[in-house]
Amino acid sequence: MYKDTAVFNLIHKELERQRNGIELIASENFTSLEVMKAMGTVPTNKYAEGYPGKRYYGGCEVVDEIEQLAIDRLKKIFNCSWANVQPHSGASANAAVFLAVMKPGEKFLGLDLSMGGHLTHGSPANFSGKTYHALHYGVTKEGIVDYEQLEAKARAEKPKMIICGASAYSRDWDYKRIRAVADEIGAVVFADIAHPAGLIASGLLNDPFDHCHIVSSTTHKTLRGPRGGIIMLRHDFENPWGLKDPKGNLRTMSSLLDLAVFPGSQGGPLEHVIAAKAVAFGEILSDDFKSYGKQVITNAQAMAKAFVGRGYNLISNGTDNHLMLIDLRNKNITGKKAQETLDKAHITLNKNAVPFDDKSPFVTSGIRVGVPAVTTRGMKEVDMEIVVNLIDKVLMNAHDEKLIESVKEEVKGFMKQFPLYPEL
C-alpha cells in the first residue's frame, strides 16, 4: 500500500507548530478531536447532490440522516425554522445569499473593508464588488459603526440589501436600528455573523435573528467547528420583494436560498465536513460551550486592558467580543512588521488595516488579535497579561534577533501548560 510519508510528515510538523505557538488569529480556533475524526471518515466517498430526501444520486439514505442531524442541531442552537449546512465556506454562503436576493448591478450597502468589513461585503476585488453595485458605510473616529451614515446612505441610495457584520470589529451590533431603516426603504437585512456566532449562540451578544431576514456564518472561528459555512432563517417567509427562482416562480426565502446553494453556486456537498459540523453543533448545545463563550469575552477584555495599560491604541478603546483591533502608529511599527516579527517568536496574529489608515492593505498600520484559540487551550485572564507582555517585548525589540529567539523558547515552554491534542 502506498504511504505518503512526505505529506504526513508535514501534517505532523503543522501539529507541532500549533502545539508550540500562541495562536491569536481571530478567525482561527482548535476543533475537538471528535470533530477532526468525523472529517476523516467515509462520507468523503459519497456524492450527494441535492438535499435530504431529494438527492440526484442513489445510496444517500445514511448521509441524509447525517445532514438532517446537522440541520436539526443548528436550528436548535439558534432557535431557527430553517438552515442550510452545505456551503463550503463563509464566502460560499454569502455568495448564495447574493444569488438568492440580488440581480447583477443592483445596489447593496455593507461595512467598508478598510473599516473592518469583509471581502464579500463589497470589495472591488471580490465577486460582491464586481457583480453588484456596492455601497459602503464606515465607523466613527471612535471606531464605532456610524449608524447615522448608514441610515443616510440607505435613505439616499435605497439599496436592495443591507449587510451587517465584519471581520475586524470589536463591538456588538444594533440590529434593531438597522432593521428600522431597512423597513423604511424596503431592503433585505443580511447579517454575516461569522466572527461572533459562538458568542451569539451562547446568548452573550445581541441576537441578529430578532431583526435580520437572513443570517450566515462560518462554522469555525467562535463556533469551534470544521471549516465551512451555514445560512439560517429564524422564520421562513413569502418574500415581500417579489424574488423569483430561475424559472420565474415566486418562492419562499428558504427555497430561494436552497436553490442558490445548489444548484446555483455549488455541486455536491462535502458530507464528511457536514458530519463534522454535526459533531460541533452537538458540542455547542452542551453547557460547557456557554462557559467557554463567557471565558472568551472575559479573556478578550482582560487582554484589551493589558494592551491599553502598555500604551497601545485599541480601536473603540476595548472589545465586546472575542477580538480587538490595534493601531500601532504610536508604537512606530507597521502591521506587516509586527506580524512578521511575532511569527519569529511563534506568536501568530495578522496585520490589519485600521479605520482611516494611511498605509496600504499590504502593509497596514494595525494588527487584529483574537482569543478563541488560546481560550480553547485553557488560558484564563491571568494568562492574557503574560501573552501581552510577550507581544510587547517582541514589538518593542523588533530588531533584536537574540531577544526574539529567547521569547520563542519562552513561548514554547509556556504553551506546555496548555496541551493540544495529547492523544495524537
* pLDDT tens digits, one per residue of 16-31: 999 999 999 999 999 9
Mean pLDDT of the chain: 96
Catalytic residue list contains 357: no
Sign of CA dihedral 275, 277, 278, 283: positive
Look at residue 244 and tell me whether its pLDDT is greater than 80. no
Residues 6+ apart with CB under 8 A from 132: 98, 102, 104, 105, 106, 107, 108, 122
What pLDDT, on a 0 to 100 scale, did the predictor assign at position 241? 78
Catalytic residue list contains 148: no
What pLDDT, on a 0 to 100 scale, did the predictor assign at position 150? 98
What pLDDT, on a 0 to 100 scale, did the predictor assign at position 230? 98
Per the CB < 8 A criterion, the answer to whether 103 and 269 are in contact is no
Question: What is the band of 240 on the pLDDT scale with cuts at 50, 70, 90?
Answer: confident
Question: What is the band of 245 on the pLDDT scale with cuts at 50, 70, 90?
Answer: confident
Catalytic residue list contains 221: yes
Look at residue 339 and tell me whether its pLDDT is greater than 80. yes
Q: Which amino acid is at 419?
A: P
Out of 46, 55, 227, 377, pick the active-site residue.
227
356 phi and psi, to 5 degrees?
A: 60, 35
What pLDDT, on a 0 to 100 scale, did the predictor assign at position 251? 87
Look at residue 162 and tell me whether its pLDDT is greater than 90. yes
Out of 192, 320, 327, 383, pick the active-site residue.
192
| DSSP annotation string for 365-417 | SEEEEE-HHHHHTT--HHHHHHHHHHHHHHHTTTT-HHHHHHHHHHHHHHHTT
Q: Which three cell numbers stand for residue 55?
A: 438527492
CA–CA distance, 115 with 29 (Å, rounded to integer): 24
401 phi and psi, to 5 degrees?
A: -60, -35
Burial of 1 (0-12, 13-18, 19+ CB in 10 A): exposed
- Rounded to an integer, the average pLDDT of 22-50 is 97
What pLDDT, on a 0 to 100 scale, did the predictor assign at position 341? 98
What pLDDT, on a 0 to 100 scale, did the predictor assign at position 323? 98
Out of 160, 221, 224, 408, pick the active-site residue.
221
Out of 31, 120, 218, 341, pick the active-site residue.
218
Question: What is the band of 237 on the pLDDT scale with cuts at 50, 70, 90?
Answer: confident
What pLDDT, on a 0 to 100 scale, did the predictor assign at position 4? 94
Cell 505529506 found at: 7
Look at residue 360 and tell me whether its pLDDT is greater than 90. yes
What pLDDT, on a 0 to 100 scale, did the predictor assign at position 239? 76
- Domains and their CATH numbers in the chain: 34-284 (3.40.640.10), 290-415 (3.90.1150.10)
- Rounded to an integer, the average pLDDT of 341-351 is 98
Burial of 97 (0-12, 13-18, 19+ CB in 10 A): buried
What pLDDT, on a 0 to 100 scale, did the predictor assign at position 375? 98
Dihedral of the CA atoms 95, 99, 105, 110 (nearest 10)?
-50
Q: Which three cell numbers stand for residue 108?
A: 447593496
Question: What is the band of 303 on the pLDDT scale with cuts at 50, 70, 90?
Answer: very high
Look at residue 246 and tell me whether its pLDDT is greater than 90. no
- Rounded to an integer, the average pLDDT of 172-200 is 98
Catalytic residue list contains 298: no
Question: What is the band of 250 on the pLDDT scale with cuts at 50, 70, 90?
Answer: confident
3-state secondary structure (DSSP) of residue 224: coil
Out of 19, 47, 76, 385, pick the active-site residue.
47
* pLDDT tens digits, one per residue of 103-126: 999 999 999 999 999 999 999 999
Look at residue 211 and tell me whether its pLDDT is greater than 80. yes
Burial of 9 (0-12, 13-18, 19+ CB in 10 A): exposed
What pLDDT, on a 0 to 100 scale, did the predictor assign at position 70? 98
- Rounded to an integer, the average pLDDT of 158-166 is 98
pTM: 0.96
Look at residue 36 and tell me whether its pLDDT is greater than 90. yes
Q: Which three cell numbers stand for residue 363?
A: 502593509
- Rounded to an integer, the average pLDDT of 295-314 is 98
3-state secondary structure (DSSP) of residue 203: coil
| 381-384-385 Cα angle (round to 5) | 105
Q: What kind and span of H or E run contains 107? A: strand 107-111
What pLDDT, on a 0 to 100 scale, did the predictor assign at position 242? 78
For residue 160, how far is the Cα from the chain centroid?
24
What pLDDT, on a 0 to 100 scale, did the predictor assign at position 399? 95
Question: What is the band of 202 on the pLDDT scale with cuts at 50, 70, 90?
Answer: very high
